[in-house]
Amino acid sequence: MPISLGNAFIKNFLGKSPDWYKLAIISFLIVNPIVFFTINPFAAGWLLVVEFIFTLAMALKCYPLQPGGLLAIEAIAIGMTSPEQVKHELVANIEVLLLLMFMVAGIYFMKQLLLFIFTKILLEIRSKIKLALAFCIAAAFLSAFLDALTVIAVIISVAVGFYAIYHKVASGQGDHTQDEHLSDLTREDLENYRAFLRSLLMHAGVGTALGGVMTMVGEPQNLIIADQAGWHFGEFLIRMSPITVPVFICGILTCIIVERLKLFGYGVQLPEHVRQILLDYDQTQSQSRTNLDVAKLWVQGLIAVWLIVGLALHLASVGLIGLSVIILATTFSGITEEHALGKAFEEALPFTALLAVFFSIVAVIIDQQLFKPAIDAVLHLENADLQLAMFYVANGLLSMVSDNVFVGTVYINEVKTALAEGIISRDQFDLLAVAINTGTNLPSVATPNGQAAFLFLLTSALAPLIRLSYGRMVLMALPYTVVLTLVGLFGIIFFLDPATANYYDLGWLSHHIPEALKHASTSIGH
């Protein structure tokens, strides 16, 4: 029976998404203008933020670009923000957008080298705990000097390669990628393999946060905070170290504990059947590798050196370095056809568009001043120690539901204004800058909203393959969220003392930390 035109419009709306999801989005679009015009623009703004988070949480039902984009378009149409403000946010974050467009595509053309290296690591390290630590520590180290999105793009590319190898063999036919092509004998292996890959990706994702908080180049907001405070690389590293070093140690201990006790979805071993498939694949690749393939590996290795040096020394913006990687890798690998180049951009461009929509929501947050009450309340606290703790907590909570770059930027600008107006001293400003940086970086691992690396992972093509949903990410991040947040708060309360605010020389570490620990133990005893 032919479908009517009206039903065709309804069926085409958000495609194969469940009917209840379609109704929810339509309800949002109807309710938002009513709340904005008849109740309160401030309430409408927060309602929009909650709705956008809902679309992220339902990413496996429908990619968030379409429903989130509809919400953003409506917000602009009814006056919650303006196209100019959205453009301002996009321009302010152009480096992040360039990174996604070019760096992720550049990593695509280095896939052979990455798969070669990580296959060796995966097959050589039999202990799951050691493997988890390797992924977590490597991601932390790289993120401290590179960019978290670049690092997670590398890990995703490797994981996609691992998954494709197994699925191709298990399905029996290279062009089949759906579960129905798997035999019952391999289904359990597939589920365990998915859990295995999920745990490694989450360890790596948290590792990017552990390393990213340490240096001024680890996260975009770190650069902004360092610039406002006038800190160089070394001073930033030392000022953050009383918080970041204990957090890193406790984060690594958490990695070991959740793997050993098999908590929160961790601890799943690589199935022997899958290990054998990867082993056979590695042997086959080694035997069939020609001089052309070896030459490509050497070229990609040299480009990897350029990538690390260029990013570590900040020879150019991250996106431009990514563009250079694309040009060099394709030139010396013989990839010159346009359609072959286009495949590299398929993964990152949908997320780039989604991030542009996200910045539209950030524009609403700015125009409707959704964070202003919290900022004002914290700034006017008279107790200096309490002010530090509340800044850390407020930044953490807001970063969980918003962009940590935006939260960090808003808070450091407000604090800089308070310093200029004489409301706070320079010493207190320095300590608040530490609280802002650690607050935006540590508690934000709780949700994909707060960490761009987590959001990129959630919306990648890999997430549905390994069944990594929003809820599962939140659950697997929970032990890290609790540990990192509490250890960071402990450090803010006991290790940051206004009397010793100017502590960027290394002598502070050996002198003040033991005193702070003694003070903390005495306080706990009382």
What pLDDT, on a 0 to 100 scale, did the predictor assign at position 511? 47
* Better-scored residue on pLDDT, 85 or 183: 85
What pLDDT, on a 0 to 100 scale, did the predictor assign at position 344? 80
Count Cβ atoms below 10 Å from residue 174 Cβ, excluding itself.
10
User: Is the pTM here over 0.85, yes or no?
Assistant: no
pLDDT 10s digits, 426-449: 888 899 999 999 999 999 899 887
What pLDDT, on a 0 to 100 scale, did the predictor assign at position 171? 64
pLDDT 10s digits, 66-92: 999 999 999 999 999 999 999 988 887
* pLDDT confidence band for 186 (50 / 70 / 90): low
Phi, psi (deg, nearest 5) at residue 381? -75, 135
Is residue 64 over pLDDT 90?
no
Range from 86-90, 187-191, 277-281 that averages highest in pLDDT: 86-90
* Better-scored residue on pLDDT, 256 or 504: 256
Lowest mean pLDDT among 33-47, 157-171, 273-287: 157-171
How confident is the prediction for the chain on average, in pLDDT? Answer: 82
3-class DSSP state for residue 126? coil
Q: What percent of the chain is modeled with pLDDT above 70?
A: 89
pLDDT 10s digits, 227-239: 788 887 778 888 9
- The CA R_g of the chain, rounded to the nearest whole Å, is 24
* Better-scored residue on pLDDT, 386 or 406: 386
Using the Cα atoms of residue 298, residue 299, residue 305 and residue 307 in order, give the sign of their dihedral.
negative
- Rounded to an integer, the average pLDDT of 372-395 is 80
* pLDDT confidence band for 178 (50 / 70 / 90): very low
What pLDDT, on a 0 to 100 scale, did the predictor assign at position 515? 54
The CA distance from 379 to 203, in Å, is: 35
Question: What is the total residue count of the chain?
Answer: 526
The CA distance from 291 to 334, in Å, is: 14
